[in-house]
Amino acid sequence: MPLLETPQDGPLAEVLAQEPGGDVRLHWLGQAGFVIDGGGRRVVIDPYLSDALAVKYRGTATPHDRMMPAPVAPGKIAHVDLILSTHAHTDHLDGETLRPLLAANPRAVLVAAAATLDTARARTGLDGARLIPADAGDRMEPVPGITLHVTRAAHETLEQDAAGRHLFLGYAIGLGGQTILHSGDTIPFDGQAAEIAALTPDLALLPVNGRDARRAGHGIAGNLTASEAMALAEAAGVPEVIAHHFGMFAFNTAAPRDLAALSAQAGSAKVRPARPGVTYLLRPDSPPEDQEAR
């Protein structure tokens, strides 16, 4: 199932004003955020479309000024069925993004880590049926036509709360007849490749901004390096990878040489860096008919 890249057909707000069709398509929102369409459904995962962190960390040793402008205002993303948050760090669970996104999509539900559900409530104002808790190992169909298999993630460690619930998650998202794995923020851990391989994803979305002692000293949790992402994809048998989580904050991005190496590597997995202004089409063996009914 080749992953094709085409120029985005106009501003992202105009693209996302249209209802999702049957084909599986992705748009990068920057950092770890993506919009994923398929099977007539739309999923938004880890959107960070505000300047909340720039305000929070202004004047500190780690200023969070945007390198990449928000490609769309959150209230301009329409026809959303499901929103996913992998963990409670603000660039993955941002109230200033989620509140207008949820208001513009009153049917959408949010799935967030059960271990940090109170944080999700406080930042979004949601409760009840629109806020669904998740933990590693869960399998669910939060809305018709979208399945989730929830995986572990190690944002430096496989951290759990007192009840044994994981703070950092990934999601294998099934829609449009295909499976897309968003690993969440993670570094390598024992059993990771086997866990991913068992889900047989057609595409993986992996963070590649790496980690080092300087960032750790400022309390910045790390992620995979580009080479680790390539090795994980090979070990898990994932045919296509979009690398992300770079180009947002100057102190916490991937080196250009590492991103360039992604496109030059040889192996069974094709790994490419995410690009704004691009539509990614995950082409099935037999393209499904466009689905108008939602």
pTM (two decimals): 0.94
Please tell me the distance from the alpha carbon of residue 132 to that of residue 217, in angstroms, as a whole number.
Answer: 34
- Please state which of the four CATH numbers 1.10.645.10, 3.40.190.10, 3.60.15.10, 3.90.226.10 is assigned to the domain occupying 3-282: 3.60.15.10
Enumerate residues 6+ apart whose C-beta is below 8 A from 288.
22, 23, 39, 176, 177
Question: CB–CB of 225/186 below 8 Å?
Answer: no
**Which H helix or E strand runs over 38?**
strand 33-38
Structure tokens at 263: 């496109």
* pLDDT attached to residue 221: 87
* pLDDT attached to residue 119: 97
Q: Residues 209-213: contacts with CB within 8 Å, 24+ apart? A: 209/245, 209/246, 209/252, 209/253, 209/254, 210/254, 210/255, 210/258, 211/156, 211/187
Please tell me the distance from the alpha carbon of residue 173 to that of residue 96, in angstroms, as a whole number.
Answer: 25
Strand, helix or coil for residue 275: coil
- What beta strand segments (E) does 60-182 contain? 82-84, 109-113, 131-134, 139-143, 146-152, 169-175, 178-182
Sheet holding 33-38, edge to edge: 3-7, 278-282, 24-30, 33-38, 41-45, 82-84, 109-113, 131-134
Q: For the chain (length 294 residues), average pLDDT per consecutive 10?
A: 90 98 97 98 98 94 94 98 98 98 98 97 93 98 98 96 98 97 97 98 96 88 92 95 95 85 72 95 64 40
**Helical spans, DSSP H, in the chain:** 12-15, 52-56, 95-104, 117-124, 192-197, 213-217, 226-236, 256-264
